[in-house]
Amino acid sequence: MFTGIVTDIGTVVAVAPRADDLRRLTIACGYDRTGIVDGASIACSGTCLTVVAAGVDNGRTWFAVDAAAETLRLTTVGRWTVGSRVNLERALKIGDELGGHLVTGHVDGLADLVSREDLGEMARMTFRVPTTLARFVATKGSVTLAGVSLTVNEVAGDTFSVLLIPHTLEVTTLGELAAGDQANLEVDLMARYAARLAEAA
């Protein structure tokens, strides 16, 4: 589990095809190498990936993950190349502060950025989501975009807007997005279960 509070921005330093439609990605980061073990889960721009190797090169920590065909097809991971910047979050530990909301790292789909309005140091972004996911997005509810926990400002049909404060624009990759870009979307887990319960009633 995660909280959607990004703790580092990593950089993809290697991409290599593997057998059985796997792709191995190596990501350099600012984390302490001693805290990364094989099998650990790290959310990479909202996608929960498993560490398969880790080390230090030129004083900087790196870790490697394998992405399967479905992950490559359904998320932005399939488009990452050397130099791509990705939001990182380590898995939640018991006792950690829950600063965002409960996030699984299981991407539901891709959100299309349809417009961006820069408001001084802040930015308002409007995204379009697949119709099947739109019903899980509510005004003042939570969504995760590229691994970042955000509060929904407004909803209109299959679009919603979020207001990004200067801190979020500075410490995540969301500030790099422009109209036409896509971001990994995870809808709020509670919204999903509430909809399921309503269907069963």
User: Catalytic one among 29, 43, 44, 48?
Assistant: 48
CA geometry: angle 186, 161, 3, nearest 5 deg:
35
Which has the closest alpha carbon to 192: 142, 140, 153? 142
Q: Is 41 tagged catalytic?
A: yes
Catalytic residue among 53, 106, 132, 139: 106
- Out of 53, 139, 151, 156, the active site residue is 151
Q: Positive or negative, the Cα torsion across 62, 42, 169, 185?
A: positive
Catalytic residue flag (residue 101):
no
2 flagged as catalytic: yes
Which residue is catalytic, options 40, 68, 91, 138?
68
Q: Active site residue: 41, 104, 115, 159, which one?
A: 41
Let me know if 48 is a catalytic residue: yes
> Read out DSSP for the chain?
-B-S---EEEEEEEEEE-STT-EEEEEEESS-GGG--TT-EEEETTEEEEEEEEEEETTEEEEEEEE-HHHHHHSGGGG--TT-EEEEEEPP-TT----S--B-----EEEEEEEEEEETTEEEEEEE--HHHHTT--TT-EEEETTEEEEEEEEETTEEEEEE-HHHHHHSSGGG--TT-EEEEEE-HHHHHHHHHHHH-
Is 29 an annotated catalytic residue? no
Active-site positions read 2, 41, 48, 50, 68, 106, 151
